[in-house]
Homo-oligomer: A and B are copies of this chain.
Amino acid sequence: MDNLKIIELKAGILGQNDRDAAALRRELAEQGTFLVNVMSSPGSGKTTTLVSVIRALGKKYTIGVMEADIDSDVDARTILEAGAKSVQLHTGGMCHLDAEMTRQGVRALGQADMVFLENVGNLVCPAEYDTGAARNITILSIPEGDDKPAKYPLMYQVCDLVVVNKMDTAAYFDFDMERCTAAVHRQNPKAVILPISAKTGEGISALAQWLEEAYRSWKEEAHD
């Protein structure tokens, strides 16, 4: 197949990006900023979940959010209203963020304890580009179906936490949590799975607890 040509170009870009991401991760450890990359399909509830997290942790930590969007600024305004620092990153048609774009966003935000990167809604490309984040979260929403981990394997291989959102709609969809859990663990045996509903608040305290524990263990790693 002559799409080999495309793959070779991509390998070069990815290699450079991996080096940029490793450098950014070191810089963020030095300045004490815990960066979390949040990925999902379009419409899985990334922004609503982040608003819930800001409400749960915003008094204890300085939180910043980078909103990656191709063109609009709806989500950044929602985050600002929730009381966190926010910058809108316009990707200009790009399907993912790379480490250099992430660095620009972190600089624009200024000092923060925790920074969340809301990546472009896409289960394919964002998984290929290391952003320099300390942790990766993938949100899967109930209406998308429990077969997504099998269909988008890399996304589930690179994440530390799978948040299963829109649990309040579980009765209306044929979504089997056991099948989902098995499918996630086939890709990634270490992934933690947390069911939530960003709309009703179900599971948000468990998510906040996971984030606080991840923040603490990252701080310890950073000081080693």
Contacts and interface: CB of A to CB of B under 8 A. Distances in A.
A98 B2 CA distance: 11
A211 interface: no
A42 B43 contact: no
Interface string A109-128: 00000000000111111001
Interface stretch (A22-30, A57-65, A143-151, A202-210): A143-151
Place the interface of chain A in its size category. 35 or more
A72 to B, nearest CB: 5
A171 to B, nearest CB: 9
Interface of A: 1-3, 6-7, 9, 13, 41-43, 69-72, 74, 92-95, 98, 100-101, 104, 120-125, 128, 141-145, 147-148, 150-154, 166, 169, 172-173
